[in-house]
Amino acid sequence: MEKVLRIEGMTCNHCAHTVHQALSKLPGMNDVHVSLDSGSAEIDFDPEQVSLEAMQKAVEDAGYTLIGTED
């Protein structure tokens, strides 16, 4: 399943890398592309292995805020 996560608080490439690492570590994540310019992460994941709540927690634990999703 593909989604776009809108993420607030990323201000540099290190921020984007931190979010990428946090999401990539979750089980069921097939692909993660984080864009600093758009403040988003395009993800491909298995919804039977990882929930949006788990993704939100990973983003927040990394110090950022998940402000919405798009299909």
Q: pLDDT tens-digit profile of 2-60? A: 999 999 999 999 999 999 999 999 999 999 999 999 999 999 999 999 999 999 999 99
Higher-pLDDT residue of 71, 28: 28
pLDDT for the residue numbered 45: 98
- Residue 19 and residue 59 in contact, taking contact as beta carbons nearer than 8 Å: yes
- Residue 23 and residue 58 in contact, taking contact as beta carbons nearer than 8 Å: yes
- Residue at token pair 């979750």: 26
pLDDT for the residue numbered 56: 98
Among the four given CATH numbers 3.40.50.360, 3.40.190.10, 2.30.30.100, 3.30.70.100, the one describing domain 2-70: 3.30.70.100
Beta bridge partners of 8: 65
pLDDT for the residue numbered 35: 98
This prediction's pTM: 0.94
